[in-house]
Amino acid sequence: MRRKGIVLKLGLLIMVLFLSILIPFAFLIDRIFLNVYSIYLNDNVKSLAQSLEVEWIEKNQSPEEIYHHLNLFFEHEVIFLNQNGHITHGNIMEFNEGNHLPDEWIAQLQNGETVEGERYNSDTEENFYYFIEPIFNDEAFEGGVIIFSSIDELHNKMHNVRDWMFRAIAATVLIAIGYTFFIVWYLSRPLVKMEKATREIAKGNLTTRVEVNSQDELGSLGSAINDLSVELNNYRKTRSEFLANISHELRTPTSYLIGYANLIKQGKYETPEELGRYASVIEGEASRLAKLIQELFALSKMEEGEYTLQIQEVDMEDFIQSLHAKMKLKAAEKGLAANVQLNGNDHAFFTDGMKLEQILLNLLENAINYTEQGWVNLQVEMKEEHIEFIVEDTGAGIPKSDQSLIFDRFYRVDKSRSRATGGTGLGLAIASELAKQISGAIQMESEENKGTRFIVTLPYSIENQDM
């Protein structure tokens, strides 16, 4: 067990809490036993003193007769004293026949008060409880009775009780320690396993999984660690693919740029038309490179949360016509039909028009790139509480195994078509992030070899905010 392990810490914490309850409880029980026995002894002695008062006054027996009668069977020590405070019968410790009681005690007795306390007999090494009862006859002070009762028996019984109590506490603590550390060990096992799993994940072993055996918070934590491992594994794979793709995408246009620039520099062209073709290649590759850099920069800013919303009212008809003009031109290059449709009432619509346009252009460009024949449609549904922009195509569709990953950064369904389509795997990730920025969401429905449908849902108005 590690010195600073969770089992030891939780075990010690539970034991401290347990002892903080047990020790005061044991002390309270000890006080209760002591008080009960003390009250019993006090009441017994008082009752005896009162009975002796009855013998003396009401039955008119002399103290001498009562004293000799008590010596035959009485277990307590009894002393009688007269009205002057002198001891007439009985001897114990410093209280001997003929001695005078302290004036303070005599004053208390004459006032009808009782006197009580404890005394230690050094000769017999006994502790005594004493009680002095004043005796009155027709309101005249006649003397008093002192009863000494040994309390060693009380002490012995209390010591026995305390011994048994300490034994019980020790046994309880030992049992509690065993149960506590067993329970803590049992409950902390999943945490220890999760710690080992997370350390394996931190080392790069992203296939590590935590066994989830419960539906409580620990089970939820285990599932979260498994999900994290899956996400990190996917991220590592897509990052590796992205770096490979980016290296290729950067190397290819760079090679073209260097190659054709050298041809022009060395004058290796025969006609102005050939020079123009070289310049066109350089322009195209430079545009491709600029687009890649722009998308990387945009994604980096979004990851850091650096963006500003420019909220303004959007004229839906003008907005749709502008999009239609842009999508028609690109669709016509592939012989595809490009249609737009606006349905619903004309509501005031406030959003960041530039970001919305970028979202829809990304989706439309993606649809055109992956559609070889048929059409690409943009449909706008202005519903009661929100707006839906629906981008639909008759392209290749997306396999079910890829549908949960298409919005991940750097992910592409058909990696072999990256150069043909000019894609970098960032378009859908950027569209998804932009939709979140303007309080929207993107959903996708697709069937392989039949087409894909993207639905962008937006509120009619969002609050202006700078991030």
Q: Are 133 and 50 in contact (CB under 8 A)?
A: yes
pLDDT of residue 467: 42
**Is residue 180 within 8 Å of 11, Cβ to Cβ?**
yes
Same domain, 227 and 135: no
Clarify whether residues 256 and 387 are in a common domain: no
pLDDT computed for residue 392 by the predictor? 93
**CA pair distance 179, 181, nearest whole angstrom:** 6
What are residue 87's phi and psi, to 5 degrees? -80, 125
Q: Of the candidates 253, 272, 303, which is a domain's last residue?
A: 303
State whether 362 and 447 are in the same domain: yes
Last residue of a domain, one of 282, 303, 324: 303
- Are residue 51 and residue 133 in the same domain, yes or no? yes
- pLDDT value of position 461: 87
* CATH number where 390 lies: 3.30.565.10
User: What is residue 3's predicted lDDT score, i.e. its pLDDT?
Assistant: 44
End-to-end CA distance of the chain: 49
CATH of the domain at 252: 1.10.287.130
- Give CA angle at 412 (409, 414), nearest 5°: 175
Domain contains 208: no
Other Cβ atoms closer than 10 A to 383: 13
Largest CA distance in the chain: 157
- What does the pLDDT read at residue 73? 47
User: How many domains does the chain contain in total?
Assistant: 3
Q: Give the Cα separation of 187 and 189 in Å (integer).
A: 6
Q: What is the pLDDT of residue 1?
A: 45
267/362 same-domain check: no
Q: What gap in Å lies between CA 216 and CA 191, rounded to an integer?
A: 13
In a domain, 183, yes or no: no
Per the structure, the complete domain to which residue 423 belongs is given by: 312-459
pLDDT at 377: 92
**Torsion angle (degrees, nearest 10) of CA 216, 219, 223, 225:** 120
Cβ–Cβ < 8 Å for 351, 458: yes
In a domain? residue 142: yes
Predicted local confidence at residue 378, as pLDDT? 93
Is residue 352 located within the same domain as residue 420?
A: yes
**Would you state the pLDDT for residue 277?**
84
Strand (E) or helix (H) holding 396: none
Residue 174 belongs to a domain: no
* Cα→Cα distances 262→111, 258, 259, 265, 267, Å: 130, 6, 5, 5, 8
Question: Is residue 446, in this structure, part of any structural domain at all?
Answer: yes
Residues 412 and 321 in one domain: yes
Integer CA distances (angstroms), 330 to 248, 392, 430, in order:
25, 15, 20
**Does residue 134 share a domain with residue 56?**
yes
For residue 193 the two structure tokens come to 């396993």
| Token pair of 391 as six digits | 């981008």
Residue 69, pLDDT score: 59
> Is the domain of 254 the same as that of 327?
no
* Residue 390 three-state SS: strand
Q: Same structural domain for residues 230 and 288?
A: yes
Choose one of 107, 133, 156: the last residue of a domain. Answer: 156
Residue type, 142: E
Parts of the chain with a pLDDT under 70 = 1-7, 34, 37-38, 40-41, 49, 52-76, 242, 245, 248-249, 252, 299, 303-307, 346, 409-425, 463-467
Contact 151, 129 (CB under 8 A): yes
Can you tell me the distance from the alpha carbon of 348 to that of 106, in angstroms, rounded to the nearest whole number? 106
pLDDT of the residue at 449 = 85
